[in-house]
Amino acid sequence: MSRRKLSRRQFVAATALTSAALVTAPYVRGAHAAGKLSIGFWDHWVPGANKASTDIVNAWKEKEKVEVTIDYIPSQGNKNLLTIAAEAQAKSGHDILAMPTWWPHAQSELLEPMNDVMEDLIKRNGEPNGTVKYLGQSKGKWLAVPASVGSQIKGPCSRIDLMKQHAGIDVQALYPAGAPPKADSWTLETFLKAAEACHKAGVPFGIGLGETSDNVDTAGAIFQSFGAALVDEKGNLTVKTDAVRQALEYYKKLISFLPPDVGAWDDASNNKWLVSGKGAMIMNPPSAWAVAKRDAPQVAEQCWTHGFPSGPKGRYAPYLAYFWGTWSFSKNKEAAKSVLRALSQPDAIEKMVVASGGYDLPCYEKLTTLKVWQEEGPPKGTLYHYPNPHNHQTLSIAAAPAPPKIAQQIYVQATLTKMCLRYHKGEPMEKVLAWAEGECEGFMRS
């Protein structure tokens, strides 16, 4: 066995030749000539829903010759929030990152403006709803592109049979499938009477008062129905107002008709409440119904998703928006904008909504009447009113209209549900208001 020895001189010559060849070689357009793009999508809880996003991105990358990597980041354990915080600190990371509700504003200084993308999308898809404008825009600048994936309305999901039997309310007649709502009588007073009746019958409404988003969202919508806000859009404190007092009085009555442990509920508690058949109503997107379809079909057959009851100042429903943002330090902003355009085309949005079983909710006005919501069942038409197709209610988010950076604190610290619990537990009204005012003052620090 012979072994050829490489002399030092030969090694230097070979290295120099190789380097020269590499430097002077002609540029050949390869399969990924347009660069690389990394995307961090939200990991959808619906099995198989991620595939729709992957397929759309794959089709785009074949056309544009871009090398794409996709990470699906779960929201369990706030992994997505940790990723956002880490990338913002490191000034490095995904070119596109899914950001829930408040995070475009929280990271506004580090996000690439999306006005050019949004102009095209609005022309094609129609105006986005007010909540998305509130959460996604700052001083006329679009901070991120609204994502249909993950966006949702947390409206009432009622048991048709129990509501009829115990509260004498036919939710299908109030919100008929395929037709506009006939829900003038569906007010907060009716809602309270129904809550009392169902509580007496042993199937109370499952409305949480914990510190997670489902709980806060419901409180937010009810406060807004009374015109109650803790901080107004200019950043002034509006805690000690009659509207806030009325909302608290209402909640105090409502809590006495809810399960005794609602103060400890998280986002899974209401889902379990519905699926177990213990309650007549919860406030949730159709995820609970989808789980019931799999685990308790007899419950799912009796579920009807519909609009919020109206209060003295209107009918409000919580809309939880997701966005796709691009960091200003992203290395391939043009490719990022291009794929965001592809993901926001009507056919792409429909594909993603179908893959999620109707859970995802686009914010654009022309895309709230997709077939999937008309056809999903059982019972057929159960999701017809989920996307607010007749603009019957104002979509909003708890703590609005406060400036988003203050509202985020009110929302995350669950100030609204804490106020309700404190008042219900016997703390005097003025003490509760003073506590909330102190908290809000703290949230205003810049």
Partner 1 sequence: MADVALQPNRSAAQTGRKRSSLHNALKRKSTVAFLMTLPLLLLIAALVIYPAFYAVHLATLNKSMQRFIGFNNFEFLFKRETFWLVVKQSCIFAITAVIFKAVLGFIIAHFVHNIPAKGQRKWRGMLLVPWVIPPAMSTLAWLWLFDPSYSAFNYTLSFFGIGPIPWTGDAMWARFSVILVNIWVGAPFFMIMYLAALKSVPEQLYEAAAIDGANWWQRIWYVTLPMMRNIIAITTLFSLIVTFANFDIVRILTAGGPLDQTHIFATWAFRIGIEGSDIPLGASVSLFMVPILAVAAIFILRDISKRGNEA
CA angle 184, 186, 188 (to 5 degrees): 125
Using CB under 8 A as the binding rule, whether residue 48 contacts partner 1 is answered as no
Give me the least distance between CB of 82 and partner 1, in Å please: 6
Give me the least distance between CB of 380 and partner 1, in Å please: 31
Q: Which of 2, 7, 24, 89 binds partner 1 (CB under 8 A)?
A: 89
Using CB under 8 A as the binding rule, whether residue 408 contacts partner 1 is answered as yes
Let me know if 217 is exposed, middle or buried by CB neighbors in 10 A (0-12, 13-18, 19+).
buried
| Positions 108 through 137 that interact with partner 1 (CB under 8 A) | 109
What DSSP character marks residue 310?
A: B
Which CA distances in Å does 301 have to 35, 286, 316? 50, 13, 27
Of 53-61, 162-170, 324-332, 434-442, the segment contacting partner 1 by CB under 8 A is 434-442
Q: Are 31 and 89 in contact (CB under 8 A)?
A: no
Give me the least distance between CB of 150 and partner 1, in Å please: 17
Total residues interacting with partner 1, rule: CB under 8 A: 40
Q: Are 274 and 160 in contact (CB under 8 A)?
A: no
What DSSP character marks residue 90?
A: H
Closer residue to partner 1, CB minimum distance, 259 or 307:
259
Give me the least distance between CB of 176 and partner 1, in Å please: 33
| Positions 244 through 273 that interact with partner 1 (CB under 8 A) | 259-266, 269, 272-273
Q: Are 67 and 36 in contact (CB under 8 A)?
A: yes
Let me know if 413 is exposed, middle or buried by CB neighbors in 10 A (0-12, 13-18, 19+).
middle
Torsion of CA 101, 212, 358, 379, to 10 degrees: -150
Closer residue to partner 1, CB minimum distance, 315 or 418:
418
Using CB under 8 A as the binding rule, whether residue 158 contacts partner 1 is answered as no
What's the token pair of residue 414?
Answer: 């669950």
Closer residue to partner 1, CB minimum distance, 343 or 399:
399
Of 6-14, 78-86, 180-188, 219-227, the segment contacting partner 1 by CB under 8 A is 78-86
Tell me, what amino acid is at 114?
Answer: M
CA of residue 310 relative to chain centroid, distance? 22
Q: Which of 136, 146, 181, 210 binds partner 1 (CB under 8 A)?
A: 210
Q: Which of 106, 243, 300, 370 binds partner 1 (CB under 8 A)?
A: 106
| Positions 287 through 326 that interact with partner 1 (CB under 8 A) | none
Q: How many helices (H) and strands (E) does the chain have?
A: 20, 11
Residues at the site binding partner 1, with contacts judged by CB under 8 A:
78, 81-82, 85, 89, 102-103, 106-107, 109, 210-212, 259-266, 269, 272-273, 276, 278, 405, 408-409, 412-413, 418, 421-422, 435, 438-439, 442, 445-446
